[in-house]
């Protein structure tokens, strides 16, 4: 446990940031799994609608530093590629 006041404040802020980051990451992972399930079921219409949401989530996560920007771009590219294979 921190002893100084600044350490206590930092620990509190870190706890809030951790909770926020965890929420963003879990939402991102759920969306990706749902997208992959739609691709497996060959449901292109719903998958393409979900792809726009996934793009937004990855961009926001990359902007906040939760995911490296190159990783976000690579994954977005692969999702688009997998969707275009079905069409």
Hey, where are the domains in the chain?
A: 5-86
Number of CB atoms found within 10 A of residue 32's CB: 16
pTM of the model: 0.86
pLDDT higher at 87 or 19: 19
| Mean of pLDDT over the chain | 96
Q: pLDDT confidence of 69, banded at 50, 70, 90? A: very high
Q: Is the pLDDT of residue 1 over 90?
A: no
Domain 5-86 in CATH 3.40.50.920? The answer is: no
Mean pLDDT throughout 11-38?
97
Mean pLDDT throughout 18-22?
97
- Which residue has 């965890």 as its token pair? 22
CA–CA separation, 41 and 43 (whole Å) = 6
Mean pLDDT throughout 48-64?
96
């Amino acid at each position: 446990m921190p002893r100084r006041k600044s350490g206590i404040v930092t620990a509190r802020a870190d706890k809030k940031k951790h909770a926020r980051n965890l929420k963003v990451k879990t939402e991102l992972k759920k969306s990706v799994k749902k997208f992959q399930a739609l691709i497996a079921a060959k449901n292109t219409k719903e998958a393409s609608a979900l792809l726009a949401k996934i793009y937004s989530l990855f961009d926001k996560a990359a902007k906040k530093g939760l995911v490296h920007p190159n990783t976000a771009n690579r994954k977005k590219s692969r999702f688009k590629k997998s969707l275009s294979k079905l069409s």
